Amino acid sequence: MYDEKVTPQMVATFLGFTKQLDLPADWNDESHSKLWVYNLHYFEDLLTVNAAAKYDFHIELLNRWAADNPVGYGNGWEPYPISLRVPNILKAWLAGLPLQKQHFKNVFEQASFLSNDLEKHLLGNHYFVNLKALLFAGVIFNNTRWLKLAVKGLMSEIPEQTLEDGANFELTPMYHSLILVDMLDMYNLSKAYPKQVPEELTNIIEVYIPKMLNFMQLVAHNDQGVSFFNDSVDGIAPSQARINAYALALGFALPELDIQQVNAIDSRASGYMVATHSGNKLIFDAGNVGPDYIPGHAHADTLAFELSIGSERVFVNTGTSQYGLGAQRLKERKTLSHNTVEVDGLDSSQVWSGFRVAQRARITSASASVMCNTVQLKASHNGYYKIYGGPHHQRSMFLEASSLRVKDELNGRFTQAKARFYLHPSLVVTLINGNLRVVGKRFELLADLTGRQAILVKSNWHPGFGISKQNNCLEVTFSNPNNLIEFTWNAL
């Protein structure tokens, strides 16, 4: 977000960091982070809820950007920022922003530059938004070459990047929501310009959007926020409520998932499993790292889970506070930052650097079922065995109306294993004489850990980029290859 006056004192806030801008220098000042500078070039403020009241500011900002960023120079001319900025400007114009001839000329130059600099070396969400930008520019400027590039690429990438259960193939709930918005935007464009957008592209978008809406709901918490598997946090993608409203406005029916029902959902294409029971929701990552050729947003979180009791998040993974390189980014990708089992201080998949994964865990078995009013989710992986010659890890979870049992089994050689359970920072957590007590607004959760090597460790939860909130982590060290913990709760 920006303030509403383009002055030497203009202030911008992105990713939890606020900076008084010094333009033109700050267009390319990466001293805080490159991602922060990228956000400065996205121009998402053009689409803010009160955009109509800010038209003068937005026009002045566009003028300033064009004057300060000559063609091909700096961060603003890299393909990813262009790919977000071009549709944002054109969407704002379609919504009423009074662009002038020089603005269209500048946007045309950006699209032309992008058309010769597509990110085919990265693929994934980068290439996808490249194609979306060319589709918008091709339609608005009636440019046949851009349209052909966009349509050909999207006809291939949509089925490539969308799994059978509707999940985006990078398997991060946050990016799934972002790509879903892209799909809705392109569908909206196709309905506004039916003669320019080929029917075959409109049809394939129309087929995949309902699947994507279903998956978004499946892996969201009861508060409608995204679950924190892989590179996912709240506040980057639009909220589920806003996405649903957009989909409804375009004529799509919304999926229904009754969390009061006793239900086990095995979304095998993506590997996510979900259990619902009496208003509670358990989300379980029983999938492989994927896709194999672009695992940059993956974490070593195999067999991690998150749990909501009613509308309150209880067990939460650590989240993602930053991109780029560095110790903090690497720590947040490691197994020890997730609600799963770490063996001998190692990672279940070899995450390294900022966006790299070497050898990866593979799921060897998985099942989801309901038996006698109990939802059972079970899966195993071979990461520790495959990479280090250690054990296979199997996790079984049993969700009932007021309890969750987590059973971990290690089959093979190991010296030490730790199961971690990160708790939401809003909860009051104590561990006294082996008795765990967790108090929320509407529930009290208990676990008898007497005789176990169990401790509470101070940690940090990252619900958004640049945001850190102190929380507690229950850390249980295994005394044998089998470990069973039962959490029970009652309403307050």
Contact 322/328 with Cβ under 8 angstroms?
yes
Predicted pLDDT of residue 17: 83
Task: Dump pLDDT digits (tens) for 378-393.
Answer: 999 999 999 899 999 9
Predicted pLDDT of residue 465: 87
Mean local confidence (pLDDT), 318-347: 92
- pLDDT class for 7, splitting at 50, 70, 90? very low
- Better-scored residue on pLDDT, 354 or 295: 295
Strand pairing partners for 453?
477
How far apart are alpha carbons 71 and 68 in whole angstroms?
Answer: 10
Q: Say what percent of the chain tops pLDDT 70.
A: 98
Mean local confidence (pLDDT), 264-273: 96
Mean local confidence (pLDDT), 347-359: 81
Least confident interval from 10-19, 155-164, 173-182:
10-19
How far apart are alpha carbons 259 and 250 in whole angstroms?
Answer: 26
Whether residue 354 has pLDDT greater than 90 = no
Whether residue 357 has pLDDT greater than 90 = no
Task: Dump pLDDT digits (tens) for 426-470.
Answer: 999 999 999 999 999 999 999 999 999 999 999 999 998 889 999
Residues contacting 89, CB < 8 A, separation 6+:
43, 46, 62, 97, 99, 103, 107
Mean local confidence (pLDDT), 292-321: 92
236-253: string of b/e by CB count within 10 Å (b at 16+)?
bbbebeebbebbeeeebe
Query: What does the block give as tokens for 27?
Result: 């267009």
Q: Dihedral sign, CA of 87, 91, 94, 97? A: negative
How far apart are alpha carbons 472 and 457 in whole angstroms?
Answer: 6
Q: Say what percent of the chain tops pLDDT 90.
A: 82
- pLDDT class for 9, splitting at 50, 70, 90? low
Residues contacting 450, CB < 8 A, separation 6+:
433, 434, 435
Predicted pLDDT of residue 8: 44
315 Cα distance to chain centroid:
17
Domains and CATH numbers, the chain: 11-249 (1.50.10.100), 263-491 (2.70.98.70)
DSSP secondary structure letters along 353-408: TTTEE-S---EEEEEEEEETTEEEEEEEE-HHHHHHS--EEEEEEEEETTEEEEEE
Backbone Cα Rg of the chain: 24
Give the closest residue to 461 by CA, choosing from 472, 451, 450.
472
267 Cα distance to chain centroid:
17
- Better-scored residue on pLDDT, 8 or 223: 223
63 Cα distance to chain centroid:
33
Calculate the average pLDDT of the chain. Answer: 94
Predicted pLDDT of residue 293: 84
Predicted pLDDT of residue 6: 45
Mean local confidence (pLDDT), 75-80: 96
Query: What does the block give as tokens for 285?
Result: 């990552």
Task: Dump pLDDT digits (tens) for 174-218.
Answer: 999 999 999 999 999 999 999 999 999 999 999 999 999 999 999
| Rounded (5°) CA angle 111-116-120 | 110
Directed axis angle between helix 101-115 and helix 79-94, to 10°? 140
Contact 457/429 with Cβ under 8 angstroms?
no
Query: What does the block give as tokens for 128?
Result: 């996808």
E strands, 146-279, are 263-267, 272-277
DSSP secondary structure letters along 51-75: GGGGHHHHHHHHHHHHHHS-TT-SG
Strand pairing partners for 380?
365, 394
Task: Reduce the DSSP state of residue 101 to 3 states and report it.
Answer: helix
Whether residue 4 has pLDDT greater than 60 = no
Predicted pLDDT of residue 3: 46
Task: Dump pLDDT digits (tens) for 119-140.
Answer: 998 888 999 999 999 999 999 9
Predicted pLDDT of residue 13: 86
